[in-house]
Amino acid sequence: MPIDITDVLKRGYSRSTERNGLTLMGIIFVISVLDGVLGLGVDRLNAGQQFANSGQVDPTLLVPSLGAGIVSLLLGIALLVVSIAAIRVFVSDETERLPREYFTRNMVWAAINLFVGVIVFGIIVALGLVAFVVPGIFLLVTLAFWTVYVAVEDQNFITAFRSSWGLTRGYRLNLFVLGVAVFFLVVLINLVFGLGDLASGSLAGDIVALVFAQAASAITTVFSTAVLATAYTELTADEDDEFGETASDDEDTTAGRPAA
């Protein structure tokens, strides 16, 4: 039975606008803005010092750049942890709180697999896109749920690829249409918030543009994650129902057999 795309989008929107969904948006927004402002500050500082030194390279420039790099790395790790927790939140029935265990349970294992898996996934899809596009789109759809299996089921990324492949069997056209719908919604949101680029040029203007861009990113990230988790829960529920019906049929068949 095909999934109801409109219903999945509505439920994904509803989950992303619940209390914990909005909280996740806020956390992602703050982390991203801090990282962006840090980068802007270092770039301006380096540009100013190089100009003052008449284009000569000043070794002291490495100090703020190195410090900013370390802080940026920590912020990136924090964003990865929040992304994993967001998947766990939206797969659950929790709509108010952000349970602590979602941010801690097997987090190192999940983070490493997600980090490495993203690289491998990107390479696989990119190779597929190079091969006449269609294989790349097919792989993008069939492997769409691997992050959920890593975050929720504690699978390694290779097993997660296999699990996603099996879960999407029979639903791939449906999921492709769902992905296209999400893509256009994300593009629309980015276009609206992209108006902040009109203010760029000065430091204040660049910060305004950054805030708008990261607000759009936080919204689309949480919404996309909520839709992905919603589709996952619906597909796994259908899978369980199908398994239950098969088991029930087997029991009925066995019950109808004469005793040996």
Is 16 within a domain? yes
DSSP 61: G
Q: What is the pLDDT of residue 87?
A: 97
Place of tokens 């992602």: 28
Q: What is the mean pLDDT of the chain?
A: 85
Is 258 within a domain? no
Q: What is the pLDDT of residue 117?
A: 95
Burial code (b: 16+ CB inside 10 Å, e: under 16) for 45-58 equals ebeeeeeeeeeeee
Is 254 within a domain? no
Is 61 within a domain? yes
Place of tokens 């969904």: 21
Q: What is the pLDDT of residue 259?
A: 41
**Is residue 256 predicted with pLDDT exceeding 50?**
no
Mean pLDDT of all residues in 227-244: 82
Q: What is the pLDDT of residue 59?
A: 58
- For the chain, the distance separating the N- and C-terminal CA atoms, rounded to the nearest angstrom, is 38
Mean pLDDT of all residues in 196-208: 76
**Is residue 142 predicted with pLDDT exceeding 60?**
yes
pLDDT in tens, 76-129: 999 999 999 999 999 999 999 999 999 999 999 999 999 999 999 999 999 988
Reported as a pLDDT band with limits 50, 70 and 90, residue 68 is confident
Amino acid occupying residue 257: R
Reported as a pLDDT band with limits 50, 70 and 90, residue 130 is confident
Q: Please report, rounded to a whole number, the percentage of residues in the chain having pLDDT higher than 70.
A: 82
Is 260 within a domain? no
**Is residue 53 predicted with pLDDT exceeding 70?**
no
Whole-angstrom Cα distance, residue 137 to residue 246?
Answer: 32
Reported as a pLDDT band with limits 50, 70 and 90, residue 237 is confident
Q: What is the pLDDT of residue 62?
A: 62
Mean pLDDT of all residues in 143-147: 96
pLDDT in tens, 151-200: 999 999 999 999 999 999 999 999 999 999 999 999 999 999 988 777 67
Is 19 within a domain? yes
Whole-angstrom Cα distance, residue 260 to residue 245?
Answer: 26
Residue 72 tokens, joined: 């940026």
Quote the distance between the C-alpha of residue 140 and its chain's center.
13
Q: Where would I find the beta strands (DSSP E) of 18-132? A: none
Decide if 146 contacts 157 (C-beta within 8 A): yes
Burial code (b: 16+ CB inside 10 Å, e: under 16) for 2-30 equals ebebeebbebbeebbebebbeebbebbbe
Split into its structural domains, the chain has a count of 1
Give the CA count within 13 Å in the CB-facing half-sphere of 252. 6
* Greatest mean pLDDT range, 13-22, 67-76, 196-205: 13-22
Is 146 within a domain? yes
User: Which structural domain, as residue segments, surrounds residue 190?
Assistant: 5-249
**Is residue 225 predicted with pLDDT exceeding 50?**
yes
Reported as a pLDDT band with limits 50, 70 and 90, residue 218 is very high
Q: Please report, rounded to a whole number, the percentage of residues in the chain having pLDDT higher than 90.
A: 64
Is 230 within a domain? yes
Q: What is the pLDDT of residue 96?
A: 92
Decide if 146 contacts 121 (C-beta within 8 A): yes
Whole-angstrom Cα distance, residue 229 to residue 208?
Answer: 32
CA dihedral 214, 219, 223, 226 (to 10 degrees): 80
Decide if 154 contacts 121 (C-beta within 8 A): no
Q: What is the pLDDT of residue 247?
A: 47
- Residue 223 or residue 134, greater confidence: 223
